Structure 1
Amino acid sequence: MKRLGLFFLCLLQFSCNSQRAEKINGVSFVASTDKVEQKHVDPVLNVSANYAAVMPFGFARNLNSPNIIFNTERQWHGETREGAKQYIQQLQKNGIKIMLKPQIWIWRGEFTGDMMMNSEEDWKILEDSYREFALTYAKLAEETKSDIYCIGTELEEFVKNRPQFWMNLIDEIKKIYSGRLTYAANWDEYTRSPFWDKLDFIGVDGYFPLSEARHPTLKDLKLGWQPWKTKLKSLSEKHDKPILFTEFGYRSMDYTAKKPWLVDRNEMDVNLDGQAKATQVVFEELWNEDWFAGGFVWKWFIHHDVSGGSADNRFTPQNKPAESVIQKYYSSLQESGF
């Protein structure tokens, strides 16, 4: 009788473990002027990523412009519908799953979260323009059987001022696209996004400030994560939805964890160790949590051999110690069934 009970206990444990969701071990696959070839995908496979975010772009002239310009001949190949489809298909041939994540770029790199229209008329033009943009790529997501579709990225003022538009847009997308949905909220925006109950993941661009130190230690970084983990878990439980880091990463520079969202081309000293440690800690603190779905490293260029490197203080982990950290954790998660 004891043996029978032990057998059923083991069977139950195996069943529960087999039902644990696969972790999303992703990279943000940056659009380029070029088509993607196998040589561009091999480095993604080498770090054991199982997902890639493909990111076509739309453009706005300024923060008050209501027209989203997209899918034009003047854009880079990877920024267009045709290019995104080609990227997706090449990645899928290699067994890599896809999050299709169309994004907006505002002239001179102004922050999309501050997009604000000056009149009701302009808000309606923006709604119509963005709807066309989002539905165009929702159709592509369905056509290519992409696993996740991200309906928008860091658009706090747009969401805050036009919440009903977003509710209606999600309903329209669901009529077109049969996969899972998320939205990429900025790290200081996600608690106010009104539509998590309508989506499959609570998407967060995880650039949380963790430490004021110039050279943060592993202990500093772990301590820095604790309050953010509590808040993320609480929101996940409130909506019964997993947290997905639609972007996460650190620059290879001093003070890497002080303001991880900084994208300005400052002259901060290169600090490869800081980036590697911060990357290690995000895996150690979050990847084993049941409420956490995984994430997409920001960012991964298709020309791996000439990207990043020891003199680069930007976000990419390519050809830096952080790449080895990612490979270590992604491969170990893959081996353990995550």
Structure 2
Amino acid sequence: MKQIFYSLLGFLLVCCAARPLKIEKVNGVSFVASRDTIDSANVAPLVKINANYAAIMPFGFVKNLDHPDLVHNTNRQWFGETRAGAKQYIETLQKDGIKIMIKPQIWVWKGEFTGKIMMASEESWKALETSYSNFILEYAVLADEVSAEILCIGTELELFIKHRPQYWTELIAEIRNIYNGKLTYAANWDEFKRTPFWEQLDYIGIDAYFPVSNSKTPTVEECNAGWFKHKQTIKDLATTLGKPVLFTEYGYRSVDYSGKEPWVFDRSMNQVNLQAQVNTTKALYDTFWGEDWFAGGFVWKWFHDHKDSGGSDNHQFTPQNKPVEKLIEAHYELYN
């Protein structure tokens, strides 16, 4: 009997050695809000690519960079941008086992960069704080209501944070009184080193549009080299704070020079380069997903109408119906 036991134990150890234990990561997509409700048919493509998380992104709107009034949750918005729409999306995704990060975002008129939102007076700052609190706390309540795993408290708001740090400290405490899940903030790729409140959050969140190559069709090796400096900075911060890093957004357009300025979405950049998108994405996976201090990320961006999205002639970010989708599917399967 003892000999049988040891033989069985040896067999199990050999099997375990042959099949390394999977390390689960946040294998996420940034799920774009639309005019429509969604159903299980819209979720099936996420399941197919082995995604286990979706970022749901309700929106608020401001007229310009120095305007303090944030308009949100109105009947003039697309359904998916509202509270009711976010809830419907979340509950539908959850039925298929997809976990949730709620990531409320601001759109400035004409698409101006939110990191430059800046008030001209104390009165305007106070008004913005009140307006933003109403916005984010509404979604903190929703996050608690639907048991979302993660709430992102803001996206690329560097000057707002720089000039009003006490407000953000108090806001985080207020959110904690409402919602018991994990918190992060989506810092821009060149902002995260200066974000003052990481110790109050659960993840260091980065929208990871780091420049990694100046080549027209960057190779994986070039991009790996391009990541070297950035990776060390990110790792040092994670180690110092003892916090995991989450790429709250990551991704590349399927265009020439996709690794040069990955944040650019100018439609005049329209030379389709599917291989550039594959190579830049693979290098990001090779660089980060195997690190124990790295939690995972959300690819930018995923549309609900999968069959009509992306495609081989599309030069935008979405990976849908492009070669990079197969790369994502295979990679996410390794960490799910």
- Whether TM exceeds 0.5 here: the answer is yes
**Residue 267 (structure 1) shift:** 3.5
Describe the SS at the equivalent of 1:58.
strand
Unaligned runs of 5+ in 1: none
Alignment match of 1:184 (pick from 179, 186, 211)? 186
**Residue equivalent to 2:31:** 29
Alignment match of 1:64 (pick from 49, 66, 82)? 66
Alignment match of 2:54 (pick from 52, 55, 76)? 52
Question: Scaled by the length of structure 1, what TM-score is found?
Answer: 0.93
Alignment match of 1:298 (pick from 281, 300, 316)? 300
Contact 2:33 2:81 survives alignment (8 Å): yes
Matched ranges for 1:265-304 at <5 A:
265-304=267-306
**Residue equivalent to 2:131:** 129
**Residue equivalent to 1:210:** 212
**Residue 22 (structure 1) shift:** 2.8
Unaligned runs of 5+ in 2: 1-5
**Residue equivalent to 2:87:** 85
**Residue equivalent to 2:333:** 331
Instruction: Summarize deviations over 1:61-102 as a string: whole Å, max 9, x none.
Output: 111110100000000000000000000000000000000000
Q: Determine what percentage of the aligned residue pairs are the same residue.
A: 56
Describe the SS at the equivalent of 1:183.
strand
Bigger shift: 28-37 or 275-284?
275-284
Instruction: Summarize deviations over 1:133-183 as a string: whole Å, max 9, x none.
Output: 010000000000000000000000000000000000000000000000000
What do you get for the CA RMSD once the two structures are aligned? 1.6
Question: 2-side partners of 1:274 and 1:264: how far apart?
Answer: 17
Matched ranges for 1:96-245 at <5 A:
96-245=98-247
Contact 2:250 2:300 survives alignment (8 Å): yes
Alignment match of 2:260 (pick from 249, 258, 261)? 258
Q: 1:21 to 1:126 in 2, by over 3 A?
A: farther
Question: 2-side partners of 1:222 and 1:193: how far apart?
Answer: 26
Question: 2-side partners of 1:22 and 1:267: how far apart?
Answer: 36
Question: 1-side partners of 2:269 and 2:190: how far apart?
Answer: 26
Question: 1-side partners of 2:334 and 2:29: how far apart?
Answer: 16
Question: 1-side partners of 2:155 and 2:26: how far apart?
Answer: 18
Describe the SS at the equivalent of 1:26.
strand
**Residue 281 (structure 1) shift:** 1.2
Question: 1-side partners of 2:306 and 2:31: how far apart?
Answer: 11
Question: Scaled by the length of structure 2, what TM-score is found?
Answer: 0.94
Describe the SS at the equivalent of 2:133.
helix
**Residue 238 (structure 1) shift:** 0.8
Kindly tell me the number of residue pairs found equivalent between the two proteins: 323
Question: 2-side partners of 1:285 and 1:267: how far apart?
Answer: 27
Describe the SS at the equivalent of 1:241.
coil
Describe the SS at the equivalent of 2:335.
helix
**Residue 21 (structure 1) shift:** 6.5
Alignment match of 1:249 (pick from 251, 257, 263)? 251
Instruction: Summarize deviations over 1:18-51 as a string: whole Å, max 9, x none.
Output: 8x96310000000000001111101111100000
Instruction: Summarize deviations over 1:292-330 as a string: whole Å, max 9, x none.
Output: 000000000001111111111100000001111100100
